[in-house]
Amino acid sequence: MEFSSKLLENAVYEVSQLPGIGKRTALRLVLHLLKQPKEQTTRLAGALVSLKDQIKFCKNCHNISDVALCEICANPKRDETIVCVVEDIRDVMAIENTNQFKGHYHVLGGKISPMEGIGPHDLTVGSLINKVKEGQIKELIFALSSTMEGDTTNFYIYKQLEGLPVKTSTIARGIAVGDELEYADEVTLGRSILNRVPFENSFKT
Chain residues in the site for a second copy (CB under 8 A): 1-8, 10-11, 13-15, 17-21, 25, 27-34, 38, 40-55, 63-66, 70-72, 88-90, 92-93, 96-97
DSSP class of residue 114 equals: G
Give the containing element (helix H, strand E) for 125.
helix 125-133
We find the least distance from the C-beta atom of residue 113 to a second copy, in angstroms, to be 13
Residue 64 or 184: the one with the smaller Cβ distance to a second copy is 64
We find the least distance from the C-beta atom of residue 155 to a second copy, in angstroms, to be 24
Closest CA to 83 of 99, 63, 54, 105: 105
Cβ distance 63 to 89 under 8 Å?
yes
Residue 8 or 161: the one with the smaller Cβ distance to a second copy is 8
We find the least distance from the C-beta atom of residue 163 to a second copy, in angstroms, to be 33
We find the least distance from the C-beta atom of residue 96 to a second copy, in angstroms, to be 6
Please name the amino acid found at residue 184: A
Alpha-carbon torsion (137, 141, 145, 147), positive or negative: positive
Residue 41 or 127: the one with the smaller Cβ distance to a second copy is 41
Residue 17 or 100: the one with the smaller Cβ distance to a second copy is 17
Query: CA-to-CA distance for 57 and 21, rounded, in angstroms?
Result: 27
